[in-house]
């Protein structure tokens, strides 16, 4: 028996105070296996012990909310006519830093299981990815390219093999993510209200079944691994990275949905973070019961595995199913039909204990609720908040607008992500009606006769300079992207990516971002249905920029309302909804052209933002809008260029922007909020302006779509003309040339 020494306790990430609490719960010292069980369940990844008190600030209720955040594996939102959607976002950052292909692939597999565990059929996935700079020939740039290629390959491999389309997302590149990439994955599924499944061990005497892949030693203590900083020695943590099998997951998906439809299931839980440990104690805790299992009965692919290894393994494609007593034979028949390993491994009892036996001996005996729900909660020390230093415009030389737009379009964060999404099978299931790369993804759920829009958003530069304002803008931009497709925002999931919370400056960022996001979600009436907190995102070079990613889902009421961002016809009028703006702080222009992250991010005025979004949605419903594209990174010049180049064929534009600003770079590249570029039929332009005026929303005809294959913008008394061919080659070819050149 392994002795429990202070060194062993510390290696498991358990503090002396936490160890004392464990002894109090058990009334004795834990054995080595029990210490491992507490280690994973009380890790940040599973317990959110450093963030749960902050997460309570989110709005989580609303008339559409059927399953609240934190109640189950994913939240569920009503979309009408008895149909609902389950959706969630999760991270697999640290595993992807160590082993990018498998780290990303198993991240996709894990989020898919969260969705079908709810009884929903997964219909599409998205992702939000961040890497260090991939430009140049330094060792760091080569590493970043390797991580980028591996992650994209892992995502495409898993999603393509299982047959779930990846239809959108975002990719950013910044030095702060060098050595610690962010891999945030999103999945959405559809279900009828009556199909919602619960992860509770209910029914005393009900048998407990294990189904799915055999348990191995891969992924050992992965939850604990994800709850500490990456170091130079992290390559030694390769066993903490799981190995995925999408074909096995497809069988598991179909078997579980058939099983849930059969009425045989009293409770179901996937074995994700913390594996068999988590699924056992959480189902018991939710059910107010106890669960006893025998690890000798668990299907294993390696010999000589100890209870510690079996309980802490994070082998993929596995589920724990609480079966209604007397239905065992029907359950076995379903598992055998889908050619899945399975075993009856335990029973639900009434003593509230998570009890793990190894044959005739007891290896673990812990009160389930204490383990699953009573982890210590911390409110860490936060640094003193200071206002961001406003940008001193005199310190920013006015760069040439011609070369600046090209530099912005060549920046990997703004350049077309065609190299990425061409690797994804985004057309499987034939539901994606808007190609990846537009403001938001749009998917037709034919079985429900519903049209969904979805977007993932976060500008980490804003969050670095002002976490509260940056998080508010992340919600607003997601809602703006949803509005540009013609959809109404419904709800959000999030992935909160931050550094070590023990550092006061990092905990301040977390608190500020949560409070900003919570405030914005209330304003936009988008309750938070759940998500993920990923802390300790630090490499030896330092912490990542705070990245509170928002995943938002909306509903398009009529297929005729689906709107895309690219210009449609020569002669169409181009209208700016909103004001020209003049806020250059924290902009991508400063980063891409001047190499600086400086100044305060643009301010968000909720009333202006809501008015702009409601007005554009109203115009779309009236059939007056041919294209809609929000102004975000790179400002109006980038928005216009993308509207020219992102369609099936390039279309030119001639535009004049009137502004009080005296510098062309301020006019063209500022990132002031609440602005959308529309194109409408010329004959409808006056009607559009009249409707905007009635709503009190600024709107200006700034130009038209032209036959000439060029983008021409007049600003501050000067006219800048960019031929589209070289711009398009730069925008579409940058990432491809970096990755394939």
Q: Which amino acids are annotated catalytic? A: 45, 92
Q: Which two tokens stand for residue 733?
A: 């070819």
Q: How far is CA 463 from CA 218, 304, 424, 470, in A?
A: 35, 49, 29, 4
Whether 220 contacts 309, CB under 8 Å: yes
**Residue spans of beta strands (DSSP E) within 195-316:** 207-212, 265-270, 290-294
207-232: string of b/e by CB count within 10 Å (b at 16+)?
bbbbbbbbbbbbbbbbbbbbbbbbee
Which residues lie across from 531 on neighbouring strands? Answer: 494
Question: What letter would DSSP give residue 324?
Answer: P
Q: Is 47 exposed, middle or buried (0-12, 13-18, 19+ CB in 10 A)?
A: buried
CA distance 119 to 623: 37
- Residue 447: enclosing H or E segment and its boundaries? none
Q: Judge whether 268 and 197 are in contact, CB under 8 Å.
A: yes
What percent helix, strand, coil does the chain show, rounded to 5? 40, 25, 35
* Spatial contact of 89 and 531, defined as CB atoms under 8 Å apart: yes
Determine phi and psi for 335, rounding to 5 degrees: -65, -40
Q: Under DSSP, is residue 454 helix (H, G, I), strand (E, B) or coil?
A: strand
User: Of 651, 632, 629, 635, which Cα lies nearest the Cα of 712?
Assistant: 651
Distance CA 702, CA 520 (A): 30
What is the end-to-end Cα distance of the chain in Å, rounded? 56
* Rounded CA separation 566/5 (Å): 64
Question: Given the structure tokens 């590249």, which residue do they identify?
Answer: 669
DSSP element (H, E) containing 504: helix 504-523
Tokens of 40: 């994973």
Q: How far apart are CA 287 and CA 172, in angstroms?
A: 42
Residue 706 DSSP symbol: E
Q: Within 553-655, where are the H helices?
A: 588-594, 606-621, 635-645
Q: Specify whether the CB–CB gap between 481 and 193 falls below 8 A.
A: no
Q: 637: helix, coil or strand?
A: helix
How many whole angstroms separate alpha carbon 347 and alpha carbon 356?
11
Vertex 46 angle, CA 378 and 117, to 5°: 145
Measured CA to CA, the distance from residue 274 to residue 36 in angstroms comes to 10
Helix 139-162 / helix 246-262 crossing angle, nearest 10 deg: 40
Task: Give the list of residues 6+ apart from residue 245 with CB closer than 8 angstroms, or none.
Answer: 213, 316, 317
Judged on CB neighbours under 10 Å (0-12, 13-18, 19+), 161 is: middle
The torsion angles phi and psi of 710, rounded to 5 degrees, stand at -150, 155
Closest CA to 281 of 48, 645, 621, 38: 38
H or E segment to which residue 732 belongs: helix 724-740
């Amino acid at each position: 028996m392994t002795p429990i020494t202070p060194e062993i306790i510390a290696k498991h990430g358990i503090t002396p105070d936490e160890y004392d609490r464990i002894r109090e719960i058990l009334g004795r010292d834990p054995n080595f296996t029990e210490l491992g069980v507490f280690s994973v369940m009380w890790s940040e990844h599973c317990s959110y012990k450093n963030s749960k008190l902050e997460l309570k600030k989110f709005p989580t209720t609303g008339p559409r909310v059927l399953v609240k955040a934190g109640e189950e594996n994913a939240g569920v939102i009503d979309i009408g006519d008895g149909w609902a959607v389950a959706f969630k976002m999760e991270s697999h950052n640290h595993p992807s830093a160590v082993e990018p292909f498998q780290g990303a692939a198993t991240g996709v597999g894990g989020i898919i299981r969260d969705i079908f565990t709810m009884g929903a059929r997964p219909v599409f996935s998205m992702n939000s990815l961040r890497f260090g700079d991939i430009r140049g020939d330094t060792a760091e740039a080569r590493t970043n390219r390797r991580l980028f290629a591996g992650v994209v390959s892992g995502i495409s491999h898993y999603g393509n093999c299982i047959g779930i389309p990846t239809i959108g997302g975002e990719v950013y590149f910044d030095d702060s993510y060098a050595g610690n990439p962010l891999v945030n994955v999103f999945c959405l599924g559809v279900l009828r209200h009556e199909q919602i499944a619960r992860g509770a061990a209910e029914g005393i005497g009900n048998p407990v079944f294990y189904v799915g892949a055999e348990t191995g030693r891969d992924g050992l203590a992965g939850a604990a691994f994800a709850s500490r900083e990456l170091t130079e020695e992290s390559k030694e943590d390769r066993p903490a990275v799981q190995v995925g099998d999408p074909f096995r997951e497809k069988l598991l998906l179909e078997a579980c949905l058939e099983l849930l439809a059969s009425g045989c299931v009293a409770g179901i839980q996937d074995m994700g973070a913390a594996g068999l440990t988590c699924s056992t104690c959480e189902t018991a805790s939710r059910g107010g019961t106890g669960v006893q299992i025998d690890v000798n009965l668990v299907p294993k692919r390696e010999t000589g595995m100890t209870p510690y290894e079996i309980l802490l393994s994070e082998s993929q494609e596995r589920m724990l199913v609480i079966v209604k007593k007397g239905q065992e034979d029907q359950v076995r028949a379903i598992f055998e039909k889908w050619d899945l390993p399975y075993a009856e491994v335990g029973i639900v009892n009434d003593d509230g204990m998570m009890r793990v036996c190894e044959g005739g001996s007891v290896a673990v005996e812990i009160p389930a609720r204490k383990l699953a729900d009573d982890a210590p909660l911390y409110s860490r020390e936060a640094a003193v908040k200071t206002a961001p230093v406003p940008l001193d415009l005199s310190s920013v030389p006015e760069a040439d607008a011609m070369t600046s737009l090209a530099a912005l379009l060549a920046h990997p964060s703004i350049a077309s992500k065609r190299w990425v999404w061409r690797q994804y099978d985004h057309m499987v299931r034939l539901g994606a009606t808007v190609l990846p790369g537009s403001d938001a993804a749009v998917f037709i759920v034919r079985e429900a006769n519903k049209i969904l829009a979805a977007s993932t958003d976060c500008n980490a530069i804003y969050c670095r300079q002002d976490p509260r304002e940056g998080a508010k803008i992340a919600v607003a931009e997601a809602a703006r992207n949803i509005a540009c497709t013609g959809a109404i925002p419904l709800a959000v999931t999030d992935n909160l990516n931050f550094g070590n919370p023990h550092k006061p400056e990092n905990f301040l960022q977390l608190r500020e971002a949560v409070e900003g996001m919570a405030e914005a979600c209330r304003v936009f009436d988008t309750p938070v249905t759940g998500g993920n907190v990923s802390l300790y995102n630090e490499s030896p070079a330092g912490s990542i920029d705070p990245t509170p990613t928002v995943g938002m889902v909306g509903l398009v009421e009529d297929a005729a309302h689906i709107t895309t961002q690219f210009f449609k016809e020569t002669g169409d009028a181009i209208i700016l909804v909103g004001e020209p703006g003049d806020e250059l702080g924290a902009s991508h222009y400063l980063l891409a052209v001047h190499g600086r992250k400086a100044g305060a991010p643009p301010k968000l005025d909720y009333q202006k933002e809501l008015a702009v979004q409601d007005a554009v949605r109203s115009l779309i419903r009236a059939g007056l809008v041919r294209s809609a594209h929000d102004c975000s990174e790179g400002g109006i010049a980038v928005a216009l260029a993308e509207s020219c180049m992102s369609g099936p064929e390039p279309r030119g534009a001639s535009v004049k922007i009137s502004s009080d600003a005296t510098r062309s770079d301020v006019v063209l590249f500022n990132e002031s909020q609440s602005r959308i570029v529309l194109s409408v039929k010329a004959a409808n332009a006056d009607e559009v302006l009249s409707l905007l005026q009635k709503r009190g929303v600024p709107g200006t005809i700034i130009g038209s779509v032209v036959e000439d294959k060029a983008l021409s913008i007049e600003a501050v008394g000067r006219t800048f003309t960019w031929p589209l061919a070289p711009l398009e080659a730069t925008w579409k070819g940058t990432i491809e040339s970096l990755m394939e050149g």
